[in-house]
Amino acid sequence: MTDATRPLVRHLTEEELLARIFPLLPMGPATLLGPGDDAAVVAAPDGRFVVTTDVLVEDRHFRRRWSAGDDVGARAATANLADVAAMGARPTSLVVSLVVPGDLPVDWVTGLARGLADVCGPVGAGVVGGDLSGGDAVVVAVTAHGDLEGREPVTRSGARPGDVLAYAGHRGLSAAGLALLDAGLVGPEDATSADPGADDVSGGVGACVAGYLRPEAPLAAGPEAARSGTTAMLDVSDGLLRDAGRLARASGVGVDIERDALAGDVDRLLPAARALGVGREAALAWALTGGEDHGLLAAFPSDVVLPEGFRRVGRVLPGPAGVTVDGQEPAVRGGWDHFAG
Amino acid sequence: MTDATRPLVRHLTEEELLARIFPLLPMGPATLLGPGDDAAVVAAPDGRFVVTTDVLVEDRHFRRRWSAGDDVGARAATANLADVAAMGARPTSLVVSLVVPGDLPVDWVTGLARGLADVCGPVGAGVVGGDLSGGDAVVVAVTAHGDLEGREPVTRSGARPGDVLAYAGHRGLSAAGLALLDAGLVGPEDATSADPGADDVSGGVGACVAGYLRPEAPLAAGPEAARSGTTAMLDVSDGLLRDAGRLARASGVGVDIERDALAGDVDRLLPAARALGVGREAALAWALTGGEDHGLLAAFPSDVVLPEGFRRVGRVLPGPAGVTVDGQEPAVRGGWDHFAG
């Protein structure tokens, strides 16, 4: 289809556009009443539900020249479902408020719906409702819900000195991928699977691009950690150091990250660092401060066998609240602030 | 405070801004875990929850020169809670994704939080979470939840021929208020209470301005209608004719609106019509097609005594699905399309 015949959002009414989106959305077993009425109805078997919201804004969180609609949909779903998982809950449903410019191609919007479905479908979460509005830039505001399956929610505040600090998921892929795209060294077409097996140089670069465009969150690891007795957990969306600091402050403990525990992550990031002409320290900085990987950081009592997907990255110390790396003040600072800039 | 010393959003970090917002938000009795963690936890006593989302975009749904932050917060909450009420549910909670330009005054944002609280607090709904991002225009995406209290959800599709069509809430105030503001005849400072007692000429105009800036939805009337045996219900956000058409199509019935039933609404709109130099037919058009009043349109079996807040506005007829006014094709068309323009 040539651009001249590619239908744009402004060529359709709201109801026509919704009619193209609805059939693409997964229902999920918890959906008692899906889209199309004033509100949806979702099951909450244990009499409670977990709820979180996260917004992506064009040219702040993504650029349309790099991210297709399906990438943005997948990323919006992942960011929200990772927050649900971080409470120890199983995702059940989400709703989407979408702002779209009139000159946005309709297939970008249906792609976004497919991206939401790609992430939600396999974990049994239904996309149960939404709202559409015109606007000058794309905004995707997702609210996600989860089922605690009778367990207590896992907060950030329960970590105790002596706990092991563990992490599930990738570190630094998204930050490295963004740096590669930003430098113009690669394009979105260079994305490959973010699967850790793809560790050759080109695969390593491609995995970073994929990790930025479509981060993979370890959604099943959240409820698994809760069942294993995690004392505190959160989604690492703003960088390991920054989010470890949040856990430390909420729990009133110190947190020490072990640099050696990140050696594998740094190795995976080296091809991207080399492509950018920087070295191992830059790769370590991505692993420590890169945002948007959506892994899970959790504390476990030291006698707990870490559940599948988690690996030790440090330990919990007595207060004062703060984060060290191998016992020292971190040499790198910062992390992603959604709000700055 | 002069503008030069009025702090702007870009002067604060995300966490500093959140720290100013959180204390303003109501918790609500259903809130089991409030803001501050990856997700909140809300009670769903009957094992289900109702969920809906609605987005307001600057210069599409509101203008900052007319609407203060508290107006926008109140309107965003009202639009969402009306959708919850339209399912026959009692509101329990909402979350907010907020996009704000860096040059937005901080007190606009705290005003928005107060506006949310103004609407949510009295009905026992907690504001349990949110997300903030920078962006070029203000976007307020709210997701609201409700408790069906063991009842079946009220959909749009259950109306039956012979039912009485009833409405709770104001008609046309918002459209008339917008027309007055748009014509420059009044400013936001002319808003008065939207209370129906204020029916003198100046009060009538002021009520329209208030009805646009801060529409009042009959939230308690939704669960009351459900208890009284309503067969179909929806929130009238896009105009009476347009939304009656949705109910008619979903139920496979005809709907006839009785013009005489709107005489009181038209009387209330006459001061605004006169101020704009138009007549009774224009006022009737506002009553029939004006959007954003957030009243509830419901069908009831003919032997039901209408619950408090509802008044008869028409009747349900055998199909084909469609809307008439006094048995005729409507002389006015249209209604608010959120997506157009």
Q: pLDDT of B132-154, one tens digit each?
A: 999 999 999 999 999 999 999 99
Tell me how crowded residue B84 is: count the other CB atoms within 10 A of its CB.
32
Q: Are B105 and B140 in contact (CB under 8 A)?
A: no
The C-alpha angle with vertex A298 and arms to A90 and A310, in degrees rounded to 5, equals: 80
- Which ipTM was obtained for this model? 0.94
- Fold match flag (A3-147 vs A164-173+217-325): no
Give the pLDDT mean for B3-24.
Answer: 90
Domain residue ranges of chain B, discontinuous segments joined by +:
3-147, 164-325
Where do the H-state alpha helices sit in chain A?
Answer: 14-21, 69-86, 106-123, 173-182, 201-213, 221-228, 240-251, 263-275, 280-289
**In this predicted structure, what is the pLDDT of residue B72?**
98
Contact A313, A325 (CB under 8 A): no
Residue B262, exposed/middle/buried by CB under 10 A (0-12, 13-18, 19+)? buried
Which residues of chain B neighbour A153 with C-beta distances below 8 Å? 32-33, 37, 39, 41
Q: How far apart are CA A238 and CA A86, in angstroms?
A: 14
Instruction: Give the residue among B264, B112, B255, B266 at the shortest CA–CA distance from B175.
Output: B266
Q: Which residues contact residue B288 at a Cβ distance below 8 angstroms, ignoring those fewer than 6 apart?
A: B172, B239, B240, B241, B257, B262, B325, B330, B332
**Integer Cα distance of B46 and B248 in angstroms:** 30
Return d(Cα A125, Cα A28) in angstroms, integer: 5
SS3 B287: helix
How close B273 gets to chain A, by Cα (Å)?
A: 29
Residue B194 has pLDDT above 60, yes or no: no
Burial class (CB in 10 A: 0-12, 13-18, 19+), A264: middle
Tell me the helices (H) and strands (E) count for chain A, helix number first: 9, 12
Q: What order do you get walking across the sheet with B31-33 strand by strand?
A: A126-134, A90-100, A139-147, A48-57, B40-43, B31-33
What DSSP letter does each residue of A182-240 carry, written as one string? HTTS--GGG-----TT--SHHHHHHHHHHHHHS----TTHHHHHHHHT-SEEEEESS-H
Tokens of B61: 């749904």
Please tell me whether residue A62 adopts helix, strand or coil conformation: strand
Kindly list the strands in the beta sheet with B254-257, ordered across the sheet, starting from the edge strand earlier in the chain: B232-236, B295-300, B164-168, B310-317, B254-257, B322-325
Q: pLDDT grade, residue B341 (50/70/90)?
A: very low
- To the nearest whole Å, the CA of B40 is away from the closest chain A CA by 5
* pLDDT value at residue B5: 79
Residue owning tokens 């002069």: B2
Question: Residues B182, B36: contact at Cβ < 8 Å?
Answer: no
> Judged by CB atoms within 8 Å, which residues 236-295 of A form the interface with B?
250
B47 and A51 within 8 Å at the Cβ level: the answer is no
| Residue B165, helix vs strand vs coil | strand
Of the two residues B195 and A171, the one the predictor is more confident about is: A171
Residue ranges for chain A with pLDDT beneath 70: 1-4, 193-203, 333-341
Domain covering B3-147, topology: 60s Ribosomal Protein L30; Chain: A; (3.30.1330)
> In terms of Cα–Cα distance, which of B325, B199, B201, B193 is closest to B262?
B325
Is the CB of residue A204 less than 8 Å from the CB of residue A283?
no
Which strands sit side by side in the sheet containing A295-300, from one edge to the other?
Answer: A232-236, A295-300, A164-168, A310-317, A254-257, A322-325
A 12-71: CB under 8 A from B:
13-14, 17, 32-33, 36-57, 60-61
Domain A164-173+217-325, CATH among 1.10.10.10, 3.40.30.10, 3.90.650.10, 3.90.1150.10: 3.90.650.10
Min Cα separation B265/chain A (Å)? 24
Contact (CB<8Å) B50/A40: yes
Q: For residue A243, what is the nearest residue in chain B, using CA coordinates?
A: B38
d(CA B241, CA B330): 8
Nearest to B39 among A39, A52, A61 (CB): A52
Q: How many CA atoms lie within 13 A of B234 on its CB side?
A: 26
* Proportion of chain B above pLDDT 90, given as a percent: 90
- Residue B338: pLDDT band with limits 50, 70, 90: very low
* pLDDT number for residue A192: 85
CA distance linking residue B13 with residue B10, whole number of Å: 7
Report how far residue A188's alpha carbon sits from residue A67's, in angstroms, rounded to the nearest whole number.
7
Indicate if the pLDDT at residue B158 is higher than 50: yes
Give the residue numbers of the binding site of B for substrate: 61, 292, 336
Given the candidates 2.30.30.230, 3.90.650.10, 3.40.30.10, 3.30.70.360, the CATH classification of the domain at B164-325 is 3.90.650.10
Residue B94 — pLDDT band, cuts 50, 70, 90?
A: very high
> What is residue A319's predicted lDDT score, i.e. its pLDDT?
84
Judge contact between B310 and B168, C-beta under 8 A.
yes
**Which residue in A has a C-alpha nearest to residue B243's C-alpha?**
A38
d(C-alpha A327, C-alpha A145), whole Å: 38
**What value does the mean pLDDT of chain B take?**
93
Nearest to B57 among A135, A153, A235 (CB): A135
Return the CA Rg of chain B.
20
Q: How far is CA B262 from CA A126, A292, B259, B267, B296, in A?
A: 41, 54, 5, 9, 15
Pick from A38, A93, A137: which is nearest to B86 by CB? A38
Q: What single letter denotes the amino acid at residue A253?
A: V
Q: What is the per-residue pLDDT across B37-55, written as a single tens digit (0 to 9) for each?
A: 999 999 999 999 999 999 9
Confidence at residue A193, expressed as pLDDT on a 0 to 100 scale: 66
Residues 189-228, chain A: which have Cβ within 8 Å of B? none
The distance of B44 to chain A (nearest Cα, Å) reads 5
- List the one residue out of B72, B130, B98, B61 whose CA is nearest residue A139: B98
Residue A293 CA to residue A215 CA, distance in Å, equals 6
Residue B14 has what pLDDT? Answer: 87
